[in-house]
Structure 1
Amino acid sequence: MTNQDRICVGAIAGAFGVKGEVRLKSFCSTPEDITSYAPLYSEDGSRSFTLKLTRGVKGGLAARMSGIATKEEADALRGLTLWADRDKLPSLPDDEFYHTDLIGLEVLDTGGARLGTVRAVHNYGAGDILEVFGPGRRQALLLPFTKAVVPTVDLTAGRIIADPPEDLE
């Protein structure tokens, strides 16, 4: 399995309580759906888990994970990202994308000039932002991932056409 065959669907924020539950951040549009994509894997694929949600908690969910029985074991998982097999995830509408599919795409402006490559996708609460890094740039170009600024995403061709506002270039 390569990382292209899996999508990051959540992360462990640490232990919850003293009986081995974890505090879970779900990256799914419906947070509770994360359990239906099990088994979930560590990023390197060396460990797999099933999840049983136990309750909602501030900033996420509390869950029991297979093989985790103590607070210490749960604490040891802090920061672990959880990955699901891509074929277990729902198909997306034409105008939605998994972040992992955008990373590495070449970004061109509407005139065909190369702006760089998508290095990361961020969301600080007001929508997705593409971090584009390219030759000749001292710092990354941050593009709002909206139809107006990014009118074309062509996964097959491996590129994005962007129309950044003039003050961003």
Structure 2
Amino acid sequence: MTNGFICIGVITSPHGIHGNVKIKIFIQDIIKFTSYITLTDKINTYTIRIASTLKNNVIVAQIQNINSRTEAEKLRNKYLYMDKVKLPPLKEGEFYHDELIGLQVVFSDKVPYGFVKAIHNFGSCDIIELSLLNKKKSVMLPFTENVFPDINLKEGYLVLTLPEIIGSK
């Protein structure tokens, strides 16, 4: 999270010839929340109208003042952010991905294991990618309550319980 802004999606490609774009959305309920959104890429501000929804959390959107495929192509791979106060409230046990990235990961006895590097979703569930301490490698684990039974945003850590097949410390 950066200065109260949450990453809500990324422009993946142009869509059609009139400047529309496809946006991979990271927040499931944003489409229910509004059909017009003002977003930023931390440099520019964009007013976006959601034109349609596709499968796999992808929307087709029209961006104000983007009127051609060439202009839309320049926006490919831009991450889009929204002021957190404008987002719908989360339910108990829900988190924005940006809130988790960078948090320390510890075992139940508070022994450090690593840090949250990224969160992915390849279809079945969210996957947390962890950077291991003192190693130049990372591991990916399912983001489930069994694997991460305690998340403490205030103190900045997640408790990790490694699946038995992987083993512990």
Normalising by the smaller structure, the TM-score range is 0.7 to 0.9
Query: 1:16-165 maps to which residues of 2 (within 5 A)?
Result: 16-30=15-29, 32-33=31-32, 35=34, 38-42=37-41, 45-57=42-54, 60-165=58-163
Query: SS of the residue aligned with 2:72?
Result: helix
Do the aligned residues in 2 keep the contact of 1:150 with 1:162 (CA within 8 Å)? yes
- Residue identity over aligned pairs, in percent, reads 33
**Offset at 1:31?**
5.3
TM-score by length of 1: 0.86
Greater helix content: 1
Q: 1:132 to 1:25 in 2, by over 3 A?
A: closer
**Offset at 1:167?**
3.1
**Offset at 1:33?**
4.0
RMSD over aligned CA atoms reads 2.1
Letter in 2 for 1:107: V
Do the aligned residues in 1 keep the contact of 2:20 with 2:69 (CA within 8 Å)? yes
1:42-71 CA-partner distances (Å, limit 9, x unpaired): 1xx211111122234566332210121111
Do the aligned residues in 1 keep the contact of 2:116 with 2:129 (CA within 8 Å)? yes
Cα distance between partner residues in 2 of 1:71 and 1:82: 19
Letter in 2 for 1:50: T
Do the aligned residues in 2 keep the contact of 1:108 with 1:114 (CA within 8 Å)? yes
Cα distance between partner residues in 1 of 2:88 and 2:63: 23
State the number of aligned residues: 166
1:14-58 CA-partner distances (Å, limit 9, x unpaired): 22111122222222213524755721001xx21111112223456
Cα distance between partner residues in 2 of 1:166 and 1:137: 22
